[in-house]
Amino acid sequence: MLFLFPFLLSILSTSLTDILPFFPAKNTDNPNIILIYMDDLGYGDLSCNGALGYTTPAIDKLAAKGMRFTNFLSAQAVCSASRAALLTGCYPNRMGVSGAYFPGSKLGLSPDEVTIAELLKQKNYRTAAVGKWHLGDHPSFMPLNQGFDSFFGLPYSNDMWPVHYDGSPSTGWKKSIPTLPLILNKDTFALITTLQEQGDLTKQYTERAISFVESNKKAPFFLYLAHSMPHVPIAVSNRFKNYTGKGLFADLMAEIDWSVDTIVRTLDRLGISKNTMIIFTSDNGPWLNYGNHAGSAGGFREGKGTTFEGGHRVPAIICWPSVIPSGSICNQLTATIDVFPTLAEILNLPLPKVQMDGLSFLPFLKGNLNQPIRREFLYYYRKNALEAVRYDHWKLVFQHPGRTYTQNLPGNDGFPSPTPEDFPFPVALYNLSRDPTELYDVQNAHPDIMEKLTQLANKARADLGDDLTGAAGSGRRPVGTIH
């Protein structure tokens, strides 16, 4: 009979596995953190989110191993503002950051603000920024003065160079912009002058990221990998030219997917995958007027530079094998400003002693997905215009002039179509649970909801101001300024 005991024990343990809930490992001590931040990647640009015509298998696998977020919002649908929010956990207009800074700007993220890199320094993390920065190109605003040990990348967007859409020298207003510099720490490493040199950026960023991971495999590290693309102009390295046979955008997505796969394989090779958190998301939605060189908002309305869901709703995946149950999906409202406080809670670090706007969603990562954490969200744009507010699945859009992609057919092959910036959007109330495309105004059917969201907006205006109504706001901090 004794020989039956191991067999019976095996059957019993298998049965218990089938009926007991999954309890993830509790080792959350000082995880390595890799934050991959895409540029203009739309909600519908990953095959796990429904992309058509190509696949992103490595990114899909990352989602299958971790948690995919379906209701994740960028703090603002434009470059500099969205990055300031991600790195500080604050609405960008609270810090005076708006729009996209051009070369030589006298404004930038104030060094007085605390970034994720500076937060993690309290636990002796090694920190690196690779890729696009775009929070001010004056030395006082650059990564080495914002908590990062090293930097390799562009100081601003890859379209801020004196080159035309077809790669020829610009004869328009761009001809006065300086040559695009690729920076290593504080110095110019190379000058980017051609589309082919742009095509090498994804590969170069990935190689630098891998080198940093390999050099810091024995100590906790934070890698902020901010890809310059698919922000136009898009280009790929020689290996990925005509790789898919389905156009340049599909080739670029294949190279981005390769980049993610290379990083994941490196972690596996070094034996540090289990307690490395990978966060993958985007700064805003797609720049739709660039047509076949732009991505997809996945059915949401409008895109980059708008406060409709196509501008703010972005893909988001977090993989952390030692904590997050594989194959998890979070439908709760979350935002990029929530990343900072989530990391602070994971590491048991105090938040900065300033007003913050993010909320920790660590309970979601541990599998507690039923109770909402964030109920409200403020959709600001332009310098400081409150164009919409959100409470749960209700969204109130205020009358405002704004960008629309619906008045002209999109462009092709790197050339944009015109995009009106002053389209007169009316007041409208949307129920995003039934109408995620924001097509059906239901304000007349829900006066109680209108009143609730109006009160929320008034509270926001008193705190952060609102250019549309002339409210100044008492909770704003000064932006970084070069005198």
Specify the pLDDT at position 386. 98
In a domain, 301, yes or no: yes
Same domain, residue pair 165 and 297: yes
Q: 412 lies in which domain range?
A: 377-481
Specify the pLDDT at position 26. 46
Dihedral over Cα of 433, 435, 438, 441: its sign: negative
Q: What is the CATH number of the domain that holds 154?
A: 3.40.720.10
What confidence tens digit (pLDDT) does each residue in 97-130 have? 999 999 999 999 999 999 999 999 999 999 999 9
In a domain, 13, yes or no: no
In a domain, 14, yes or no: no
What confidence tens digit (pLDDT) does each residue in 441-469 have? 999 999 999 999 999 999 999 999 999 99
DSSP string covering 366-405: TT--SS-S--EEEEEETTTEEEEEEETTEEEEPPEEE--S
Same domain, residue pair 169 and 318: yes
Same domain, residue pair 272 and 393: no
What confidence tens digit (pLDDT) does each residue in 131-153 have? 999 999 999 999 999 999 999 99
Domain finish residue from 325, 355, 374 = 374
pLDDT band at 28 (very low <50, low <70, confident <90, very high): low
pLDDT band at 233 (very low <50, low <70, confident <90, very high): very high
Specify the pLDDT at position 483. 84
Active site residues: 79, 134
pLDDT of 24 strictly over 70:
no
Same domain, residue pair 423 and 308: no
pLDDT of 82 strictly over 90:
yes
What 3-state class would DSSP assign to 126?
Answer: strand
- Provide the domain count of the chain: 2
The answer to whether 322 and 439 are in contact (CB under 8 A) is no
Question: What is the percent of the chain with per-residue pLDDT over 70, rounded to a whole number?
Answer: 94
In a domain, 261, yes or no: yes
Same domain, residue pair 363 and 410: no
Q: What is the CATH number of the domain that holds 416?
A: 3.30.1120.10
Same domain, residue pair 435 and 322: no
Q: What is the mean pLDDT of the chain?
A: 94
Specify the pLDDT at position 309. 98
Same domain, residue pair 107 and 176: yes
In a domain, 198, yes or no: yes
Question: Buried b / exposed e across 56-67, counting CB within 10 Å, b at 16+?
Answer: bebbbbbbebbb
The answer to whether 178 and 212 are in contact (CB under 8 A) is no
Q: Which two tokens stand for residue 271?
A: 């034996």
Residue 134: is it exposed, middle or buried by C-beta count within 10 angstroms (0-12/13-18/19+)?
Answer: buried
Q: Which two tokens stand for residue 63?
A: 């989602």
Specify the pLDDT at position 389. 98
- Between strands 334-335 and 32-38, the pairing is unpaired
Same domain, residue pair 408 and 466: yes
Specify the pLDDT at position 382. 95
In this prediction the pTM is 0.94
In a domain, 11, yes or no: no
